[in-house]
Amino acid sequence: MKIRYISNEKEIQSQGDTVVVLGYFDGLHRGHQELFRTARRIADEQGLVVAVLTFPESPKLAFCRYQPELLLHLQNPEERLKRMEEFGVDELYLIDFTSDFAAHTAEEFVASYLTALRARVIVAGFDYSFGSDKKEAADLASYFDGQVRVIPPVLDQGEKISSTRIRQAIASGQVKEATNLLGYPLSSRGIVVHGDARGRTIGFPTANLAPVDRTYLPQDGVYVVEVEVMGKRYRGMASVGKNSTFDGTELRFEANLFDFTKDIYGYTIRIFWLDKIREMVKFDSVPALIDQLHQDEKIARKWMKS
């Protein structure tokens, strides 16, 4: 896959006539994947190149009052690029969604960017919008002479799959549901750093993690996880939240790896969120906490994918 960061349409250098997939694609969930499957199939049938024009960050940053959450993603940039390549993208063009870019009318956008992309077919989701005049996916055919494929919503349990729905699932701790909607495991990466070392003293040594990506962490709680470290995966349990039993005030993200004893300070490890075990609670005593951790471990070790 050829990746090119551009600032305007003049920097586009397509290698052939294209099927262009339009959208933001935070998360590349099962709904997005249907667009890429459609584009790849059309490209193979018609001898075209699959090209994507999208943005590194959310377009909402150009329109909404700033909130830190606007800079968070469902997956890290490396994973996003890797999955696009897996979904059959040949050319990826990334452009910042600036005030200048947003000022293009729908007609100007088609005439400049889609012409430069040598688009013969456009694939977009049903909820895609474009142009300063706020045109919808159904309007693409009014401005574009080629074929337009508008993909209907992909449903799960009668409700459309969307990035918003996935973010809500993560925020409520429903990591298993988030993985189902994404179509691949929800994960987070962190560098192993030194913490208070309390876990080791109570028989549950943990890897204290400093997040390295601007991705969403699940709601505070204790989770069944798989941990990828040094190329291998280990079952474990992870917690997100404040160490309230020890009167902690800072948000902690830590993982206990089963059957693993090596020191891994400085390593970047990856947490795959499988399911939630329980909420974070404050225990009356350390022995009560230890008893609960033993119960959590039993649940985590026995957990099976359904």
Beta pairing partners, 49: 18
User: For the chain, how many residues are written?
Assistant: 306
According to the model, what pLDDT value does residue 243 have? 63
Do 101 and 151 belong together in one domain? yes
Percentage, residues of the chain above pLDDT 70: 94
Specify if 176 maps to a domain. Answer: no
Tokens of 197: 């070392």
Range of the domain at 156: 2-160
Is the predicted pLDDT of residue 101 greater than 70, yes or no? yes
Q: Which pTM does this prediction carry?
A: 0.91
Is the predicted pLDDT of residue 31 greater than 60, yes or no? yes
Do 127 and 44 belong together in one domain? yes
Specify if 246 maps to a domain. Answer: yes
Split at pLDDT 50, 70, 90, the class of 104 is very high
Residue at a domain's end among 125, 160, 195:
160
According to the model, what pLDDT value does residue 121 have? 98
Do 205 and 244 belong together in one domain? yes
Do 29 and 154 belong together in one domain? yes
pLDDT digits (tens, 9 = 90+) for 63-78: 999 999 999 999 999 9
pLDDT digits (tens, 9 = 90+) for 255-302: 999 999 899 999 999 999 999 999 988 887 888 888 999 999 999 999
Closest of 167, 154, 163, 180 to residue 24, by C-alpha: 163
Do 228 and 129 belong together in one domain? no
